[in-house]
Amino acid sequence: MRPLFVTWEYPPYKAGGIAAHCEDLATTMAAQGHNPVVLTYGEKEETEYRDGVEIHRVPATDAASDTISWAMHLGHQIEKKAIELNKQEKFDLVHAHDWMAVPGATGIKKTLALPMVFTVHSTQEGRDGRDSEYQETIHNLEWYGTYEASQVITVGREFSEEVKNLYEVPENKINYIPNGVDLEKFDKHSYSINHNDYALDWEKIVLFVGRMYPQKGPGHLIEAMPEITDRYDEAKFVMCGSGATEYYKDIAKSKMGEKVHFPGYVSDRELLGLMKHAEMMVTPSVYEPFGIVPLEAAASNTMTVGSYVGGMKDTIVHEYTGLHSYPADPDSIAYQVNRALEDPGWNDWMGDNARERVEENFQWEQISAWTTGIYQDALR
Amino acid sequence: MKVLMLSKEFHDGEGVSEYCKNLAEYLVEKGHEATIVSFDDKADYHVDQRVKVQKVPLPIEGDNIYSWAMMMNNELKNRAREIVETEGYDLIHCNDWSTIPGGVSLKKHLELPLAVTVHSTENERGFEGDHAELISELEWEGTFEADAVFVTKDDTKNSVLFDLDVPEAKLKTVDPYSHDWQSRILNTYKEILKQKEKLLQEN
């Protein structure tokens, strides 16, 4: 099959999780004998063949005054490229990822008369609401994507209900396919971090990885910290990620001093090392359609204390692969982190179970096969 | 000859609508076929019944005229493509920046000649608002891709020549209030199709 992926970001360009998702999915599809083509934004027009995937980048104007009009403009450029590529070899369908890809993908659908599949990774409603006309327009574009698509894919079980209700998507169009983890990336990796870069010899690392915004709940973890160190002085909090780091760093430092560390930018290699080395991961999100971090921790044999919300209801099995805390509840986070620190043997056992569960349930080979199955439905 | 026109609206008394209507009525009178595809503005129109009019609804509203137009072009493209694929058309004629994204996509996909009428340019309108530059870029793109560019007055001609760098050879000023103006457009259509024929034979 020859699907055309439309995404505004694709590695090496990445801002959020869509780039990595598209790359893993496209690469796996190619390995399974399909011919995925990726159309995305680039600083200049270029073509690249990587891991069996044909990648085309088109530039976009810098005259757009806002992201919606930029996405509209990029969509038009992407559509023109798709028309040109389709003349050489026809596409079977167009697969859009999130609202930024909706203008381009719907244009391609209409001009080339192709079926469309739309993956919703998150919603405007969940990200930061729809109070302004601008936010409402993004919400409407998301709706339009689900309306025009023959099949809609969502990345979380509970999230798929949310998407279905929010956009009134018919039952027979909505699908749930979890994200996957590229285990090879974790297994190939033999680099060990230097423990003393992050903590003292006797300290144990409690790790946070994610963009530091309210949605990801770093503030709730910071509030929980004193209750944890009061009982287990060996806990050392390491907070990795972009976003409002300075804001959270100020709060955390004034509360916890040396017991919390913000390393700033860390390379992918260093991050994989940290995840493997950490005692546990904490993901205190208040909203999380899927949440890849618990699975990445699991791939590193590390258990996660995560909020009982969205995708984490499925990616964490309470008291087996990790622990669930109540969302936006520092006491609950502290209670669960303390339970894991209290029993290191149990903590390790949960880490090993988490790894085993990822091997069985969250592999890209499986996810890719489910996705091409949905393509078959869209082609009907 | 079969001509498919694109317009962002089509109703009585509106400038671009009247332009399309008069041109289409002339074409059918001369034994040609004409279809007008526009956004469904829900307003009344009266036109010679030999002219086909297709008004397409748009299920989504943009937060401004630019994003509205970009989404509206989706529906224009979809309907126009269906018509061309089933009935076979010879030429696409679009009007102003608001139908240029559709006109360009259809030209490229269906490999049909494209005519563009610029009723006014963004520069003439004052280049105001958040999306002036994006709109002007569309005017540039449309006139660049067009096989023929029509303007309705000298001011627009100057702007198209100097602001959009359109070569004079493919530019014609046709005043829709002048006598027999439609015949000049029809003649240009014929020239474009003759050139295309020639190119096809040479290859």
CA of B175 to nearest chain A CA: how many angstroms apart?
31
Give chain A positions within 8 Å (CB) of B63: 68, 133-134, 136-137
| Model pLDDT, residue B4 | 98
| Model pLDDT, residue A68 | 95
CA of A307 to nearest chain B CA: how many angstroms apart?
36
Please tell me which residue of chain A has the smallest CA distance to B78.
Answer: A110
CA angle A145, A378, A167 (to 5 degrees): 30
Q: Which of B86, B110, B134, B144 to mutate to test the interface with A (most CBs of A within 10 A)?
A: B134
The DSSP output letter for A290 is S
Of A182, A353, A363, A178, residue with least CA distance to A268: A182
Contact yes or no for B11/B36 (Cβ under 8 A):
no
The token pair that represents A129 in the structure block: 């609401």
Rounded to 10°, the helix B100-110/B132-145 angle is 30
Residue B7, strand partner residues: B38
Q: How many helices (H) and strands (E) does chain A have?
A: 15, 14
The residue count for chain B? 203
pLDDT tens sequence for chain A (380 residues): 999 999 999 998 877 789 999 999 999 999 999 999 999 999 999 999 999 999 999 999 888 889 999 999 999 999 999 999 999 999 999 999 999 999 999 999 999 999 999 999 999 998 889 999 999 999 999 999 999 999 999 999 999 999 999 999 999 999 999 999 989 889 987 778 999 999 999 999 999 999 999 999 999 999 999 999 999 999 999 999 989 999 999 999 999 999 999 999 899 899 999 999 999 999 999 999 998 999 999 999 999 999 999 999 999 999 999 999 999 999 999 999 999 999 999 999 999 999 999 999 999 999 999 999 999 999 99
Share of chain B above pLDDT 70, in %: 100
| Model pLDDT, residue A192 | 86
Please tell me which residue of chain A has the smallest CA distance to B67.
Answer: A69
Question: What is the tens place of the pLDDT at every residue in B135-173?
Answer: 999 999 999 999 999 999 999 999 999 999 999 999 999
Rounded to 5 degrees, φ, ψ at A19 are -60, -50
Give the count of Cβ contacts less than 8 A between chain A and B.
77
Q: Average pLDDT for residues B55-60, to the nearest whole number? A: 94
User: Among B61, B78, B101, whose Cβ lies nearest the Cβ of A76?
Assistant: B101
B131 — pLDDT class (breaks 50, 70, 90): very high
User: Among B62, B64, B74, whose Cβ lies nearest the Cβ of A106?
Assistant: B74
Residue B35, strand partner residues: B4, B52
Q: CB distance B66–A61 less than 8 Å?
A: no
Contacts of B79 (CB under 8 A, 6+ apart): B37, B54, B56
Q: Which residue has the tokens 């909203």?
A: A287
- Domains observed in chain A: 3-180+363-379 (3.40.50.2000), 184-361 (3.40.50.2000)
B62 — pLDDT class (breaks 50, 70, 90): confident
B61 — pLDDT class (breaks 50, 70, 90): confident
Contact yes or no for B139/B121 (Cβ under 8 A):
yes
| Model pLDDT, residue A131 | 94
| Model pLDDT, residue A189 | 75
| Model pLDDT, residue A163 | 97
Give, in order, the Cα–Cα distances in Å from A123 to each of A98, A244, A366, B111, B192.
8, 21, 25, 38, 48
Whole-number Å distance between alpha carbons of A316 and A294:
7
Share of chain B above pLDDT 90, in %: 96
Please tell me which residue of chain B has the smallest CA distance to A69.
Answer: B67
| Model pLDDT, residue A25 | 97
Note the maximum CA span of chain B. 48
Domain hosting residue B12, numbered range: 2-202
Cβ of residue B137 closer than 8 Å to a chain A Cβ? yes
Domain tally for chain B?
1
Does the structure show a pLDDT above 80 at B91?
yes
- In B140-159, the residues whose Cβ lies within 8 Å of chain A are none
| Model pLDDT, residue A188 | 87
Give chain B positions within 8 Å (CB) of A137: 61-63, 67
Q: CB distance B130–A69 less than 8 Å?
A: yes
Of B147, B137, B193, B153, residue with least CA distance to B169: B147
Contacts of A106 (CB under 8 A, 6+ apart): A75, A96, A116, A144, A145, A148, B71, B74
CATH code (residue B176): 3.40.50.2000
Provide the ipTM.
Answer: 0.95
Exposed/middle/buried for A67, CB within 10 Å: 0-12, 13-18, 19+?
Answer: middle
Residue A53, strand partner residues: A50
Q: CB distance B137–A63 less than 8 Å?
A: yes
Output Rg (C-alpha) for chain B, integer angstroms.
16
Cβ of residue B127 closer than 8 Å to a chain A Cβ? no
Single-letter amino acid, residue A246: E
